[in-house]
A = this chain, B = another copy of it.
Amino acid sequence: MPGRNIDEWIDRYLSVSFLVMKRGAALVKGSLCEEMTHDQYYLLRYIRRRGACTSTELAAMFGVNKSAVTAMTNRLVDKGWLRRDRDKNDRRVIVLSLTEQGEAWIAEMDRSVYRLVEEVIARFPEEEIETFIRTYERLARVLQEVEEAK
């Protein structure tokens, strides 16, 4: 009965992924300052790691509409954490990058979020952590492939 096993995995995955998403978001939000939301923290983190990028790229990366990115980046620009610059070579393109203030805020938030995640991670054996994260990263790639195939 291979189908039986797979359906059980699907059910367990769907149930647990929603739980972890919600509980994780609540915990992370509790570690952030009032001025920064959960989604803003992750978006700024992504831009810091990725370097300057465009709204089209962000929309594709996170599977949202470009207008959603415009709305989010508007708030981040208003707060002085993000900068918009026109691309010299292609004047349609707006390049997004962190401001110095943005770098400072995200570094500050990182400190408390890292403490939180460390507290969670510390409860797992090292090998289990490494194995889990590796599969998680593989899952992220597979989700992108599946999305592109549609």
Contacts and interface: CB of A to CB of B under 8 A. Distances in A.
Interface string A1-36: 000011101101111111111111111001000000
A136 B133 CA distance: 10
State the number of copies, please: 2
B9 A129 contact: yes
A78 interface: no
Given A18-B46, A136-B17, A137-B16, A147 B26 contact: yes
A150 B119 CA distance: 12
Interface string A107-150: 00000011011111111101011111101111110111011001
The A interface, classified by DSSP as helix, strand, loop or mixed, is helix
A64 interface: yes
Nearest to A131: B131
A61 interface: yes
A13 B45 contact: no
A68 B145 CA distance: 34
Interface in A73-99: none
19 contacts: A9-B121, A9-B129, A9-B130, A9-B133, A12-B137, A13-B121, A14-B113, A15-B49, A16-B137, A19-B62, A22-B63, A23-B140, A26-B62, A26-B63, A27-B143, A27-B147, A120-B146, A132-B132, A132-B139
